[in-house]
């Protein structure tokens, strides 16, 4: 029996979940699907500057899993860009951040911005 998949923690859903090329007929092309957990790995590593190890700690999964998710996401995004295909962000194995943590560490979670600011003030006071 295979091991059950761990739920991957995601800060929040993307504001925009669909991208269409402007110079092609997107309706006749296959859509490239990037899962929400793949999006989160790209966001944390490429946009927030996390290492794969730090990303794995944040998402509550193994570093090797983050590496696999990240590589899959980059291949999909590259295919969409190079072939001019539409790209959608949807699905995947993830759990949204519930906002109950004291400090999330990503700096981008709207649920934690106030908590993050309070935590930074506490750290500066020490």
pLDDT digits (tens, 9 = 90+) for 28-50: 679 999 999 999 999 999 998 99
- Return the number of other C-beta atoms located less than 10 Å from residue 20's C-beta: 15
CA 32 to CA 38: how far, in whole Å?
12
Mean per-residue pLDDT for 18-27?
77
CA 83 to CA 78: how far, in whole Å?
8
Asked if 52 contacts 67 with a C-beta cutoff of 8 angstroms, the reply is yes
Which fold is adopted by the domain 8-98?
A: Arc Repressor Mutant, subunit A (1.10.10)
Q: Would strands 32-34 and 87-89 be described as parallel, antiparallel, or unpaired?
A: parallel
pLDDT at site 118 = 47
Is it the case that residue 78 has pLDDT exceeding 90?
yes
CA 70 to CA 15: how far, in whole Å?
20
């Amino acid at each position: 029996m295979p091991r059950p998949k761990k739920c991957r923690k995601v800060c929040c859903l993307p504001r925009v979940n669909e991208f269409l090329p402007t110079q092609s007929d997107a309706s006749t092309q296959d859509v490239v699907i990037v899962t929400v957990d793949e999006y989160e790995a790209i966001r944390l590593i490429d946009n927030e500057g996390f290492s794969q190890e730090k990303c794995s700690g944040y998402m509550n999964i193994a570093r090797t899993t983050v590496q696999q998710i990240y590589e899959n996401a980059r291949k999909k995004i590259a295919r969409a860009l190079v072939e001019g295909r539409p790209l959608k962000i949807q699905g995947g194995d993830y759990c949204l951040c519930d906002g109950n943590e004291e400090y999330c560490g990503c700096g981008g979670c709207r649920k934690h911005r106030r908590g993050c600011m309070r935590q930074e003030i506490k750290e500066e006071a020490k």
